[in-house]
Amino acid sequence: MKKIFYSVLFFAVTILSCASDSPVPQRVISFSDLKWDVREAIEEGPGPNNWSSSKGSVFVDSLGQLHLKIRKIAGLWHAAQVTTQKSYGYGKYIFYVATNVEELDPNVVTGLFTYENDAQEIDIEFSRFGNAANEVGSYTLQPKPYNQENKHSFPLRLNGTHSTHIINWTPEGIYFESYHCHSPSLVSESLLISRWTYKGEKNPPVGKERLNINAWLFQGNAPAVNKDIEVIISKVFVPY
């Protein structure tokens, strides 16, 4: 009888032990009627950075806006990133940004991009590293090296917090556009921030790419202001 008891006890302990070692399920959020995986990782690129999937780092507010926060957790800075669960391929991607990304901390990078691998990536980024002092915005086609053929940097000169940014991806070329306010199309040339067309060989084919939005720290350096950073995206539109 004792032998049976101890066998059952050993089996139960083994099951509990296996359960405790199982990975934590990836957090998923709904934003702009899309399903997004929230990244959780330690010391991974870009940066490298630590990435937090906690509700304090990534959440959708009552207005349906996405919040990404760079914040210190247990003494370590953590970045934030979300990735769509589906690939949407060619077409127009529209981002309504509700943060003045021109005024973010100099160590912060905000990315709006499609990604399959390091050689198949289409980027809109806001950062100060690698750009002229006033050219915070950039459109980039990976991979490196960067030159005028595959990277276009530009100043934002934002009027307030609202700006719209577009990647219109076609087999023939990629058409980028940025303008003031939130609108699915440019209503007046006076609102234009920047426009650029790429028709080179780095235009990636449609494959298993996913749409990503992130906020991270260049080379993993702490924010110069030593406080939390928040980026808000009001809405995203993808091709259907």
Positions in the chain whose pLDDT score sits under 70: 1-24, 130-133
Provide the pLDDT for residue 131: 66
- The whole-number pLDDT of residue 25 equals 81
- Provide the pLDDT for residue 44: 98
Structural domains of the chain, with CATH: 27-237 (2.60.120.200)
Residue-level pLDDT at 240? 83
pLDDT at 161: 96
Give 173-186 as a DSSP string: -EEEEEEES--SS-
- The pLDDT of residue 101 is 96
pTM check: above 0.75: yes
pLDDT of 130: 66
What are the b/e assignments for 189-228, b being 16+ CB within 10 Å? eeeebbbeebeeebbbeeeebbbbbbbbbbebeebeeeee
Quick: pLDDT tens for 8-59: 433 443 433 344 344 568 999 999 999 999 999 999 999 999 999 999 999 9
